[in-house]
């Protein structure tokens, strides 16, 4: 759970694999968006898993705010897009950690 001022503000789920973690899902409630909460949550979970070399996630291409957030955090698109329907296309991101 993601908390802000001791209140539930969203959630982030981490699926662990050997040296790869998958973020699925992550969300911040609308009334808490735009405050840097998602960036702080990503920084915290990445710090909690210093052994992880790659992070992965996917999102909807049409959700421009999500794409901007992930790219600002160092995630890069990879793989092929997957059209779900005429209004929804899934895209895939990964972030390589160099230590």
Q: pLDDT digits over 34-73, tens only?
A: 999 999 999 999 999 999 999 999 999 999 999 999 999 9
Residue 63 DSSP code? -
What's the rounded Cα separation, in Å, for the pair 82 and 12?
A: 23
* pLDDT tens-digit series, residues 5-17: 999 999 999 999 8
What tokens does 40 get?
């702080």
**Of 46, 12, 53, 48, whose CA–CA distance to 29 is shortest?**
12
Domains and CATH numbers, the chain: 2-96 (3.40.630.30)
Q: Are 4 and 36 in contact (CB under 8 A)?
A: no
Please tell me the pTM assigned to this model.
0.92
């Amino acid at each position: 759970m993601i908390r802000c001022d001791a209140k539930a503000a969203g959630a982030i789920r981490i699926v662990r694999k050997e040296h790869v973690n998958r973020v699925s899902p992550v969300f911040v409630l609308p009334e808490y968006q735009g405050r840097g909460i998602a960036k702080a949550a990503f920084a915290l979970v990445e710090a909690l898993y210093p052994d992880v070399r790659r992070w992965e996630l996917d999102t909807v291409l049409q959700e421009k705010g999500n794409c901007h957030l992930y790219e600002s955090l160092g995630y890069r698109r990879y793989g092929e897009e997957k059209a779900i329907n005429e209004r929804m296309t899934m895209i895939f991101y990964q972030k390589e950690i160099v230590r």
